[in-house]
Amino acid sequence: MKQIISIMLLFSLLGCKEKSENSIVASKLFYNGDILTMEEDIPKYVEAVVIQNGKIVFVGSKSDAESQFKDSKKIDLKGKTLLPGFIDPHSHFGMVSNTMGQVDLNPEPVGKIKNIDDILKNLKEYKEKNKIPDGEWIFGWGYDDGQLTEKRHPTKKDIDKILPNNPVYLQHTSGHMGVANSLGLKELNTSSNSKDPDGGTIVRFPNSNDPTGLVQETAMYPFVRLMMEKLDSKQAEFFDTTQDYYASNGITTAQDGMTSRESIRFFQSQADAGKMKIDLIALAGYSELDSNLTDTSLLFKTYKKGFKTQGTKIVADGSPQGKTAFFSKPFLTDVPGCHHDCRGLPSLSQEAINKLFETAYAKDNQLFIHCNGDASIDMVLLAHKLACEKLNQPLNKDRRTIVIHSQFVRPEQLDTFVKYNMEPSFFTNHAYFWGDIHVQNLGKERADFLSPMVSAKNLGLKPTNHSDATVTPIDPIFTIWTAVNRVSRSGAIIGQAERTTPYLAIQAITSFAAYEFFDENLKGNLTVGKLADFVILDKNPLKVKPMEIKNIKVVETIKEGKSIYKK
């Protein structure tokens, strides 16, 4: 019996040894393409990259790679371009997922909506096709009043004509307002007697208290909250599809730009179950800041199986195209619900923002603040200064406070970003989608300084650039194109001096984006020890004509050495 047990133990040990040896994955050698490392401020190409066990183990010449890794599987790029995987500086993963359960009301080139009749037709067809019974909520997303033939928002009366028996809420493309029909308003107790909430507006028909259905900023929060509650039940159903969508665009790290505790738990449960194909970074909502900081189960800044909660998102103002962003100078065109000195409005009081900064800084919690207008940026800069003074902390401590959008930042505010060690995450897609509108609403001088990436980089900042999906589509190639060309729908150039090089545009979604999330030692460039997160393109953005960049295709996306998308 002892001899049998000894033999069994011997085979068991041999099996463990064999398993351990086999767990070392064979290396792969990529060569014969434009391999752009993104590790420096100027383009650097190498002949070969070798990966093993999900990480980069060699970067350099092909001959050295072949001599050091003789048994590598060779991957011939056949002239294609290999870059670090794209890192999403700011989008809304959960909202992208939720759109899969809503009516698409986007205008061209994203959708096909041209007028309000098109919106009504799509809503009616959606109800019939999906056999939605009376009384059940119907949600739509992406309508843009500036691109409708009527140049106005739909109203409750419009929607009531075709959906009188379903509560309806349509989210504006900006994400900062929406329209409900009569039944939808009734469901959320919004009536002629309702008062405008702080930081929001219930728009009324002229010379009346009767709501049109349009609710802006904080007035829309109850509608959005209800929409998320209704659609969150489908999160698991759409989770894989949403990851695949990001991966098909070359993204290996995505962001969810405003995440409730419930959604954080859901994302972590998916990660714990091994369902992450890409990395996902969440920003917790500011309304839960106090409880989040005292909850020991919530660990900030640390990946766990591909998911982490990085910091806290604050919304300081609204949308420039929606005319709710907060400016120091008035809009030049009429603003719905406003009749004098229309400069938009802050979403929070100065006192409230001050308190959030002080609370977060005391616990070293990274802040990401949505600011479109320059007046809201002034509020954030003051809150930063006051929090540092009260906590006796250096103004330039390495907190990496991120001012999301920074759309209409003033030149002197960029100087203060440098002084305070803050970083902007820009949104150059606006130049294409709403550049013409910004010239009308704000004037050419302000519009031309939209998302000033070149000025920021010249000051030594590390600007990132994003899609803010669902506001604009997830498409990093298109985002590179808008940064380089800054061409509007009409073909006008929005800020000639702020047109970036293709290289800076790529930095903004690779190495600089990694820096934004304190991930610069993990990803963002092709150096030894970094994760083997790659995107392979059919052409090199640095070598095609600027206007042709948007035609470049993602051929393959690789996450930690594993192909997760292939065209």
Q: CB burial class (10 A; 0-12, 13-18, 19+) of residue 63?
A: exposed
Token pair for residue 115?
Answer: 């007028």
Q: How far apart are the C-alpha atoms of 326 and 541, rounded to whole Å?
A: 35
Among 559, 483, 561, residue whose Cα is nearest residue 75: 561
Q: 35 with 48: CB under 8 angstroms?
A: yes
At residue 69's C-alpha, the angle toward residues 66 and 73, to 5°, is: 85
Same fold, 113-230 and 234-566: no
Q: Is the pLDDT of residue 21 over 60?
A: no
Q: Which amino acid is at 29?
A: L
Phi, psi of 256 (to 5 degrees): -110, 110
Q: 181 with 196: CB under 8 angstroms?
A: no
Q: 177 with 324: CB under 8 angstroms?
A: yes
| Average pLDDT over all residues of the chain | 93
Full-model pTM: 0.88
Q: Is the pLDDT of residue 2 over 60?
A: no
Which pLDDT score is estimated for 80? Answer: 98
According to DSSP H, which parts of 178-288 are helical? 182-187, 221-232, 235-248, 261-272
Which pLDDT score is estimated for 101? Answer: 82
CATH architecture of 113-230: Roll (3.10)
- Which range (255-264, 305-314, 382-391) has the least confidence? 255-264
Sign of CA dihedral 369, 374, 378, 379: negative
- b vs e for 522-539, b when ≥16 Cβ sit within 10 Å of the residue's Cβ? bbbbbeeebbbbbbbbeb
Reported confidence tier of residue 122, pLDDT bands at 50, 70, 90: very high
CATH architecture of 234-566: Alpha-Beta Barrel (3.20)
Q: Is the pLDDT of residue 248 over 80?
A: yes
Domain residue limits, the chain: 113-230, 234-566
Which pLDDT score is estimated for 306? Answer: 98
Strand, helix or coil at 80? coil
Q: What percent of the chain has pLDDT over 90?
A: 88
The pLDDT tens digits for 409-435 are 999 999 999 999 999 999 999 999 999
Contacts of 147 (CB under 8 A, 6+ apart): 107, 108, 113
C-alpha of 30 from chain center: 30
